[in-house]
């Protein structure tokens, strides 16, 4: 059970002082049985005139900051410490009726899962459908976990990771044709493929831990990361990271979950000025392991503005 620290700094710069609009911040990890938040602080420069907290429709923790005056830069500096329990060789306790694909969800689950099964992107030539069904044997059934693991690892082996600074997500048909994209693009492709098979899937935003002695194990570090959760009866929402071929929560720090990636943007807001005043944004994320004795383990306070 490693203790992990996360330092996440996002900086906006402007050509001249501009007015700052409302900003919504989703940096605080979700407390759960597999990750326990120990401490969290947030420093915003310039200091906001107000900071309020809320839980969105998915239960994610969101901070809303408002500002007065003008500034030529805006910096969000967040430090997090959490106890992370990885699943190193996961075998999920899937309900017997869902252990093999195809399966159906129960009547009690469908009202809550139906929107997570609906497709979000057009697939006019059924390319994503065909790709998804290529993981199902032409005759007979396949283990549900095996199917999802094969899809996850196929992306890692056969698609090229490409960091993209542009906003938004690449269309999944484009990702499939190019066989390259960012972690967001791979996550959305897998979500659409899983939904094409009739399973519920949702988008996860968070952080990626690369062990200090094994920096080449994963790609997609140094910024926020994105992956997929699939709902499996008996096991619940299970993590799959197609960018790195990870099955289970190993090295994945969950911050926000949503049906659509637009609902899990880590940070977004506005400014008042000319378009040319925007000099861009930079993001830096560092995730390291901490010696358990070097921190005070306590119930965390709400993220504070210092």
Q: How does DSSP assign 48-87, residue by residue?
A: PSEEEEEE-TT--EEEEEE--SEEEEEEEEEEEEEEE---
* Residues with pLDDT less than 50, the chain: 297-306
**Strand pairing category for 3-25 and 70-84:** antiparallel
pLDDT score at 217: 79
pLDDT score at 293: 65
* Digit-coded pLDDT (tens) for 254-295: 999 999 999 999 999 999 999 999 999 999 999 999 977 665
pLDDT score at 214: 64
**Strand pairing category for 160-161 and 180-181:** parallel
Task: Tell me whether residue 64 is exposed, middle or buried, using C-beta atoms within 10 angstroms of its C-beta: 0 to 12, 13 to 18, 19 or more.
Answer: middle
For the chain, what percentages of helix, strand and coil (3-state, to nearest 5) are there?
20, 40, 40
Q: Which of 45, 253, 245, 236 is nearest to 159 (CA)?
A: 245
pLDDT score at 222: 83
* Digit-coded pLDDT (tens) for 123-133: 999 999 999 99
Long-range contacts of 128-137 (CB under 8 A, 24+ apart): 128/172, 128/173, 128/176, 128/189, 128/192, 128/193, 128/196, 129/196, 131/176, 131/193, 132/192, 132/193, 132/194, 132/196, 132/197, 133/196, 133/197, 136/101, 136/197
* CATH numbers and ranges of domains, the chain: 3-84+265-294 (2.60.40.2250), 96-250 (3.10.620.30)
């Amino acid at each position: 059970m490693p203790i992990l620290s996360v330092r996440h700094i996002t900086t906006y710069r402007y050509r001249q002082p501009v007015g700052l609009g409302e900003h919504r911040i989703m940096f605080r990890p979700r407390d759960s049985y597999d990750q326990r938040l120990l401490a969290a602080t947030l420093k915003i420069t310039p200091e906001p005139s107000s900071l309020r907290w809320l839980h969105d429709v998915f239960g994610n923790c969101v901070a809303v900051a408002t500002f007065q005056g003008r500034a030529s830069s805006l910096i969000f500096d967040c430090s997090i410490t959490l106890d992370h329990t990885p699943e190193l060789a996961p075998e999920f306790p899937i309900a017997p009726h869902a252990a093999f694909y195809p399966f159906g969800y129960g009547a009690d689950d469908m009202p809550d899962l139906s929107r997570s099964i609906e497709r979000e992107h057009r697939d006019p030539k059924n390319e994503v459908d065909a790709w998804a069904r290529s993981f199902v044997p032409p005759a007979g059934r396949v283990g549900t976990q095996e199917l999802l693991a094969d899809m996850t690892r196929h992306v890692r082996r056969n698609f090229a990771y490409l960091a993209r600074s542009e906003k938004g997500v690449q269309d999944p048909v484009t990702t499939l044709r190019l066989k390259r994209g960012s972690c967001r693009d791979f996550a959305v492709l897998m979500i659409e493929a899983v939904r094409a098979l009739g399973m519920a899937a949702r988008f996860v935003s968070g952080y990626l831990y690369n062990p200090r002695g094994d920096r080449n194990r994963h790609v997609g570090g140094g910024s926020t990361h994105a992956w997929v959760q699939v709902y499996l009866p008996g096991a619940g929402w299970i993590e799959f990271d197609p960018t790195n071929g990870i099955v289970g929560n190993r090295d994945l720090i969950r911050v926000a979950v949503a049906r659509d990636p637009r609902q899990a943007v880590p940070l977004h807001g506005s400014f008042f000025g000319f378009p040319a005043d925007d000099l861009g944004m930079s993001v830096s994320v560092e995730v390291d392991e901490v010696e358990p004795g070097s921190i005070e383990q306590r119930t965390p306070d709400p993220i504070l503005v210092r």
